[in-house]
């Protein structure tokens, strides 16, 4: 009898999981943003700016029904891969772009603007990065698909993001 209860329980769990997976909400982006990784809306700007100018430009992006744009935060490998594929193969860009991370508060402790920790090491960072010490405190999505550190006065394009 116990085996029968266990089988019934497992079937109920399986059906519930199946129903949850098939009833997932469709995510869409607005304001010219593009969905990557199935959950994240981004917009790549080729206009070059300093990190602070890029941060301010993201925050002032208009035409939003939901979300609040900010410099992009990339926290998982799948999203990093999707971003690289989009930038390199769809946009055909081979340029460095600002992201929303910095170690300007404490050298070597990389944090996103919302104070969450930036992922460290491979596969996010190039093996030779970060390498700028206290002179390079702002996060770059490098043309090779890895994170790198950059000087705040350098001018790059940038990536804005919002969660839909």
DSSP string covering 14-62? HHHHHHHHHTPPPP---TT-EEETTTEEEEEEEEEE-HHHHHHHHHT--
The answer, as to whether pTM is greater than 0.85, is: no
Name residue, tokens 């081979």: 94
Average pLDDT along the chain: 83
Q: What is the pLDDT of residues 26-70, one digit of tens each?
A: 678 887 899 998 889 999 999 999 999 999 999 887 655 556 799
What pLDDT is attached to residue 31?
79
Report the pLDDT averaged over residues 127-151. Answer: 94
Query: Is the pLDDT higher at 118 or at 6?
Result: 118
Task: Give the rounded percent of residues in the chain with a pLDDT score beyond 90.
Answer: 66
What are the chain's domains?
27-163 (3.10.100.10)
């Amino acid at each position: 009898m116990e085996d029968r209860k266990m089988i019934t329980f497992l079937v109920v769990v399986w059906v519930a999981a199946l129903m949850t997976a098939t009833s997932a909400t469709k995510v869409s982006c607005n304001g010219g943003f593009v969905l990557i990784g199935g959950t994240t809306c981004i917009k790549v700007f080729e206009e070059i700016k300093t990190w602070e100018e890029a941060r301010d430009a993201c925050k002032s992006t208009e035409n939003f029904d939901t979300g609040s744009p900010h410099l992009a935060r990339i926290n998982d490998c799948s999203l990093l891969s999707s971003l690289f594929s989009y930038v390199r193969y769809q946009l055909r860009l081979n340029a460095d772009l600002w992201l929303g991370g910095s170690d300007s508060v404490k050298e070597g402790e990389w944090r996103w603007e919302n104070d969450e920790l930036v992922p460290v090491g491979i596969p996010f960072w190039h093996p030779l990065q970060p390498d700028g010490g206290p002179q390079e405190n702002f996060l770059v999505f490098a043309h090779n698909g890895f994170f790198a550190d950059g000087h705040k006065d350098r001018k790059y394009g940038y990536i804005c993001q919002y969660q839909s």
